[in-house]
Structures are given as structure tokens and as C-alpha cells.
């Protein structure tokens, strides 16, 4: 009997030791996966803005975008792309790639815009860039940890993309019914008349320049959403006198609709 107990105790201690050993090494392995993922996707992250040679500075970065499809198309937030350019002074759309202090400017044109979901599809000149993969946003769950990479403060500190970690705090409608009529405005009424779609509410920190950044899986690099710091806030937080610092993202499934429009 004593021998049996001793044997069981030995087995239990072995299992406990392996469990502790596994916990000790699980986090570093996952961290290594994240490092590899970020290194892999960085060439797909671009700045989106306009260029005007007679302006100082000539390049104005308005947000972030990322490459997909054939490597010559870029997704960003629609509000990042100005609707009107200063054609008289030869202002044009541009996408910035490369890294560090020697970024490369690519000429860009608008292919199609989805104003309802605040998405824009651009086509860029030059050689194809590495493209990111779009996943099924319907599989994202609250509590899931994702990351996003972009240019939160533009090129002030050079062309260096920044990555933030974010948990999906909530999957919530883009607009909530107002509690009273005084909270209603034309924008809210128009949104309420449409079918309200859901957005991802995140606990990560983002800034206006982060709009258009891909929200992706830290291990696989698959994109599940597009970070949005202006459009969603204007609807979801319209009733707040002091809008929050919450970060939102548009589900990535709407990107597929834009790509289908491109083919038509």
C-alpha cells in the first residue's frame, strides 16, 4: 500500500512539474510568435495621405492603410481619404511604403468607397507589395486578444509603424437608440433607419492616425477588422458631451464586398 502511495505521489509530482515547466515556457513561445508575425506583416503596412510638391511639408499623412489582394490594392478608412484635392496646385493621393527615414511614395487612385462602413479601396503604382490575408470577422469573440499596427502620429518621428495589443471588449452595434429626442440628430436618425451593424470595441489605445490600421491575429497575421478612430465615434458616442478614449474597429468582412465591386 505504501509503495502504491509513493508511486502515485511520484506521478503527481511529475505531472505538476511538467505543468509548471509548460507555464514557464508558454509565454515566451507565444511572444516569439507575435514578434515573427509583426515582422512578417510590417511590409504590408502603409501610410495614406496626399502629396503636393509646393506645400511644406509636401507630404501629409492622414492615416494608415494595409495591402491586400494582388499586392497593388490598399484598404483604409474612407474618412482618411479627402474627397476634394487641390488640383490647381497638383495635389494627389499618395501611399507611403518602405521604412525609417527613406520612405517610398507611391501614386494612389481611389477604386471604390463604402461610406456606410467607412472603408476605401485604393490602387497603387509600382511593384506589388506583400498582401495581408482577410479572415472571417464573424469568428471573433469577446475576450479575444488581437493587435493592430499603424502610424498613430503620422511621420513625426519617422516612418516607423507602431503595434498595439487590444482585447475585444465588446461586439456592439455601431449606434444605440437615443434615450430622448434631444439626443437625436440627422446623422443618428439616418443611421437608425438603416440596419445597424456591429463593430469591435477594443481596450487598446489608438489615435486618429491609427484609422485604417489592420486589426489582426497576433499569431497568424490574419486580418479581422479595420481600426476606426473617427467615423464610429461620431455615431456611437454622439450623445456623449465628452467622447471616450475607446478604440473601435470595423469588421473586416466588409472588405470582401469592396473587392467584389473592384471586379465588376
Q: Which three cell numbers stand for residue 91?
A: 495635389
- Amino acid 79: pLDDT: 92
Query: Would you give the distance in Å from CA 5 to the centre of its chain?
Result: 56
- Tell me the fold of 137-263: Thrombin, subunit H (2.40.10)
Angle at 64 between CA 31 and CA 93, to 5 degrees: 155
- Amino acid 177: pLDDT: 45
- Amino acid 133: pLDDT: 96
- Amino acid 159: pLDDT: 80
- Amino acid 241: pLDDT: 44
- Amino acid 18: pLDDT: 40
pTM: 0.79
Distance of alpha carbon 66 from alpha carbon 59, whole angstroms: 18
- Amino acid 57: pLDDT: 87
Give alpha helix (H) positions in the chain: 2-41, 186-193, 231-236, 253-263
pLDDT in tens, the chain (264 residues): 455 555 445 444 543 444 434 444 444 547 788 999 999 999 999 999 999 998 888 998 999 999 999 999 999 999 999 999 999 999 999 999 987 777 899 999 999 999 989 999 999 999 999 999 999 999 999 999 999 999 988 777 678 899 999 999 999 988 644 444 454 455 555 554 456 789 999 998 888 889 999 999 999 999 999 999 766 555 544 434 444 567 899 999 999 888 888 776
Cβ proximity of 63 and 129 under 8 Å: no
CA distances from 122 to 4, 80, 113, 183, 243 (A): 71, 12, 9, 36, 30
Burial of 59 (0-12, 13-18, 19+ CB in 10 A): middle
CA distances from 142 to 62, 126, 214, 242 (A): 30, 39, 18, 25
- What is the CB neighbour count within 10 angstroms for residue 63? 28
Domain ranges of the chain: 137-263
- What is the CB neighbour count within 10 angstroms for residue 174? 20
- Amino acid 186: pLDDT: 54
Amino acid at each position: 500500500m505504501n509503495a502504491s502511495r509513493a508511486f502515485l505521489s511520484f506521478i503527481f509530482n511529475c505531472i505538476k512539474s511538467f505543468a509548471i515547466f509548460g507555464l514557464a515556457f508558454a509565454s515566451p513561445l507565444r511572444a516569439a510568435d507575435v514578434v515573427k508575425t509583426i515582422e512578417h506583416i510590417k511590409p504590408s503596412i502603409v501610410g495614406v495621405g496626399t502629396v503636393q510638391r509646393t506645400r511644406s511639408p509636401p507630404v501629409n499623412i492622414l492615416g494608415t492603410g494595409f495591402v491586400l489582394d494582388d499586392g497593388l490594392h490598399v484598404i483604409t478608412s474612407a474618412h482618411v481619404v479627402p474627397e476634394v484635392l487641390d488640383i490647381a496646385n497638383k495635389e494627389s493621393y499618395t501611399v507611403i511604403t518602405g521604412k525609417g527615414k527613406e520612405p517610398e511614395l507611391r501614386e494612389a487612385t481611389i477604386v471604390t468607397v463604402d461610406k456606410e462602413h467607412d472603408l476605401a479601396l485604393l490602387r497603387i503604382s509600382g511593384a506589388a507589395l506583400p498582401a495581408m490575408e482577410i479572415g472571417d470577422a464573424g469568428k471573433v469573440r469577446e475576450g479575444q486578444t488581437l493587435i493592430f499596427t499603424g502610424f498613430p502620429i503620422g511621420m513625426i518621428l519617422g516612418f516607423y509603424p507602431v503595434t498595439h495589443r487590444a482585447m475585444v471588449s465588446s461586439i456592439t452595434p455601431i449606434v444605440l437608440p437615443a434615450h430622448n429626442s434631444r439626443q437625436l440628430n440627422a446623422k443618428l436618425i439616418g443611421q437608425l433607419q438603416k440596419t445597424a451593424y456591429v463593430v469591435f470595441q477594443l481596450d487598446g489605445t489608438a489615435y486618429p492616425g491609427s484609422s485604417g490600421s489592420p486589426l489582426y491575429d497576433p499569431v497568424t497575421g490574419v486580418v479581422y477588422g479595420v481600426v476606426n478612430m473617427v467615423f464610429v465615434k461620431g455615431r456611437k458616442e454622439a450623445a456623449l458631451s465628452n467622447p471616450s478614449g475607446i478604440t473601435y474597429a470595423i469588421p473586416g468582412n466588409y472588405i470582401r464586398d469592396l473587392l467584389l465591386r473592384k471586379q465588376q
